[in-house]
Structure 1
Amino acid sequence: MSSSPDKASILDPTKPKKKRHWNWSDPDRLDPNEALKHVMLKMRLHSLSNSGSSTPHSESEPESDSFSPNTVSTGPDLTAMLSDELLLKVFNRIPDAKQLISNSLVCKRWCVLCGKLIQSIKLLDWEFLESGRLSYRFPNLVDINIVPASIVFERNSGILLSTKSLKVYLNSGVLETEGSFVRKEDILDSEAIDKGVRILAEGCRNLRRIALMNVSEEGLSCLAEECELLQEMELHYCGDFALRGITKFQNLQILKLIGRLTGVYDSVVSDIGMTILAQGCRRLLKLELVGCEGSYDGIKAIGMCCQMLEELTFCSHRMEGGWLSALSYCGNLKILRLESCMCIDENPGPDEYLGACPMLEELHLRRCQMRDKEGVRALFMVCWNIRGLVIEDCWGMDNNVFAAATVFRAIRSLSLEGCSLLTTEG
């Protein structure tokens, strides 16, 4: 019987063979899952041969038993063949930062590697800092907030105090006291804070931002010597003379200074502290003063010394009358913010002494008491050259008070929110 031409051409070795083109719809194509299992099996066989095991799995054994998700593998770690640099690149591509916490629980190696990728934390346990485990666990930190750990609280406390500047758990007994929620005895003393800051500074020298509480001059000086790259700082519960340590920071550009946090804690930052601050931090670009006492002298010192200052914020200030006229010394100021201020200026003085901020571009007023017409008028005169005005939820802003805004001849943008007393006439 003669064979068919197709079969003869196949059996004839002299004829060239046709190349087979793979098609993804072909049922005989290679399964990616099977290929992955084959690669994993090869890695396991290679690791077993290097470890000297005499009973490796053969390639003919079923792979489903070795890679079943319900069985616990007792073999070596397959990721041990990957370098630390390669694993770090893999972990760094995980979009969800919280997944790094789960990955750090796999093994000690993954714990160390994941810790290198975490750059910002909020410390809750002070012992974790004092023991030195913080710098070992997170060697590449650039942002840390140790304020919550500086307040002693009950671990099982269900009372959470949350403000714009502070978020901390409180002790149950604090509700029975009058005054501030955070008592003086609940805050760690300056010696303990300085000790922890020294350990932190020596272990994490690449810090760019830090939030501190009740730190002294010694602690700030140590931080300035070790962390030369520090650019942003937030200080809670800090007195005037502690600010002498801040003068050693060469690259500090953003500072938030909290003297008194209404209803939470109370400390004093006056003209003395502002003058020390101004003479030491001449490169400041942004300054926020929260609950600070002061007067014309303190603001004048800041304006004359911090000539690079572009953004200034007053929050719940306790300034004496006449402080507005000192703003004219801030020659390069571009943005001025007033937030939660019960009074603008009780005694602004004559108009000829007010001056003006020549470079000011924006004025923001949020949750301020604006029933004092003279104080508001003086503020608008100092800021007469602005191009943008934002007023949000300010009490007492009626037509008569808002009439002082006619001084803004160059204004290009106006935002009004929560000003229910303003009418079309205003």
Structure 2
Amino acid sequence: MSALAEKADSPLKKKPPSWSDIWLKNTKPLKHVVFTMPLQSLSPKDPKSQTLIPTFANIDRTLLLSDELLLQILPKLPHLQRNPNSLVCKRWLNLQGRLIRSLKILDWDFLESGRLFTRFPNLTHVDLLNGCLLSPRDSGILLTHRLVSMQMGSGFCSNRKFLEEDLLPVEVVDKGLQALANGCPNLRRLVVINASELGLLTVAEECLTLQELELHKCNDNVLRGIAACENLQIVKLVANVDGLYSSSVTDIGLTILAQGCKRLVRLELSGCEGSFDGIKAIGQCCLMLEELTICDHKMDDGWLAGLSYCENLKTLKLLSCKRIDRSPGRDEYLGFCPALERLHLQKCQLRSKKSVRALFRVCEAVREIVIQDCWGLDNDMFRFASVCRRVKLLSLEGCSLLTTEGLEAVILSWQDLENLIVVSCKNINESGISPALATLFSILKELRWRPDVKSLLASSLVGTGMGKKGGRFFKRT
């Protein structure tokens, strides 16, 4: 036994230790190594660098989107949110500028310096009217007109023409137009004042897509530049504005315009001179003309007869005209507009029986007549409208001299009348409503009646199916 024990305990017979025994006996230092190694491997080498999670949170995810995709997303946001979006970053500022198509220039230096085209590279509608004015920006006095509003200083006199003395020189305006033509080749609409023929020629040569032009303070020579804009469809000429500025557009300028802009669809003449020859030239050359607006005209007698040459004219508007035509001529020379559908008279003086009679004679094919705040329209004047047999809509507003008797004498002769609107006509009241007129009201498709007197038509409309809502009597089928 002793021999066997000695053999068992001898070092020669001992089993060598395995890796598992070593691992289990030295657990403490190994635990320290195990827990230390991951911390050292995950710790950043650069102490200024951030971990993975904070870095992902600070990434601008819109950088993954292309400019073309953002240009489709940004326009779909609410309109009130578009301006704040431009403050997010420079990229969004540039993208928002690319979305702007229409702009009104207030600072002329912004145009001449070229910053306009860098900030808004895709402009198609530009208004330079206020930018051409030399008005103090810090003044608390605001001059407002139907055509323009401007700030002005306190040192002015009653006989001073404000805009004419506060406009940029013609050379400066032409230089700005040249810069605009080079920077906005896709320009479609332009509003400018005090430009010359050369400036408009530059725009005509560079901006071939120009379709709408509003020109203030123009004359016959300036219209030579407009004639080069062959694709113009809408033109507004403002020659003279009482108290603001004055210029002259005569038959010569109207003829130049007609021969050069044969694609006109809408034309507005404000404060222009001229006569039969100028209107005739427009009708013969501008075969596509559908709407003609004449505002505060200075035309010679006999110009109404030229309207008969506008064979495709559909809308005729007379605004703020102190007179229509004092001597229109004989009926056989007047003619009429065969395609005319709408006649609008607003704030005009209808005091001459000859001119009112000639006007309705030329517009005898009209289907809609709208008369608003016109002075002098009484029963005798309105009776001339009976020649228009095809009227379907009649709108009267602010005609204080017209009575129920005069209204009835005309509309009972219109067999096609479907819509009648009477607003603020104090002499049209229930006392003059006849059974025939009440019967006509019952078959109208639409009747809006508000003469601003008490309980009108309350008794006359009983049993006709008429209703009352919001102070207006109406009927719809």
Partner of 2:369: 389
Range that drifts further, 131-140 or 154-163: 154-163
1:234 deviates by: 0.3
Partner of 2:28: none
Distance change in 2, residues 1:173/1:291 (3 Å): same
SS of residue in 2 equivalent to 1:293: coil
SS of residue in 2 equivalent to 1:319: coil
**Identity, % of aligned pairs?**
55
- Equivalents in 1 of 2:86, 2:47: separation in Å? 29
1:272 deviates by: 1.4
1:95 deviates by: 2.2
Choose the corresponding residue for 2:71, options 88, 111, 126: 88
2:239 corresponds to 1:259: yes
- List per-residue Cα deviations over 1:288-311 (Å, max 9, x = no partner): 000101111111111111111111
SS of residue in 1 equivalent to 2:191: strand
Partner of 2:338: 358
Partner of 1:419: 399
Partner of 2:228: 248
- Equivalents in 1 of 2:153, 2:275: separation in Å? 36
2:135 corresponds to 1:141: no
Partner of 2:418: none
Partner of 2:383: 403
- Equivalents in 2 of 1:157, 1:402: separation in Å? 47
Q: CA RMSD in A?
A: 2.0
- Equivalents in 2 of 1:283, 1:360: separation in Å? 19
Equivalences, count: 362
2:71 corresponds to 1:99: no
2:146 corresponds to 1:152: no
- Equivalents in 1 of 2:166, 2:189: separation in Å? 25
Give TM-score, length-normalised by structure 1: 0.81
1:78 deviates by: 4.7
Partner of 2:159: 178
Partner of 2:437: none
1:411 deviates by: 1.2
2:57 corresponds to 1:57: no
Partner of 1:315: 295
- Equivalents in 1 of 2:68, 2:233: separation in Å? 34
SS of residue in 1 equivalent to 2:237: strand
- Matched to 1:345, the amino acid is D
Aligned residue runs from structure 1 range 341-380, under 5 A: 341-380=321-360
Distance change in 2, residues 1:340/1:53 (3 Å): farther
- Matched to 2:110, the amino acid is F
- Equivalents in 2 of 1:223, 1:172: separation in Å? 37
Partner of 1:199: 179
- Equivalents in 1 of 2:150, 2:84: separation in Å? 25
- Equivalents in 2 of 1:204, 1:156: separation in Å? 31
- Equivalents in 2 of 1:105, 1:334: separation in Å? 48
- Runs of 4 or more consecutive aligned structure 1 residues displaced over 6 Å after TM superposition: none
- Equivalents in 1 of 2:219, 2:60: separation in Å? 54
Structure possessing the higher relative contact order (Cα contacts under 8 Å, 6 or more residues apart): 1
- Matched to 2:255, the amino acid is T
- Equivalents in 2 of 1:245, 1:167: separation in Å? 27
Structure 1 unaligned segments of length 5 or more: list them. Answer: 1-48, 68-74
Partner of 1:5: none
- Equivalents in 1 of 2:47, 2:370: separation in Å? 74
- Equivalents in 2 of 1:208, 1:107: separation in Å? 30
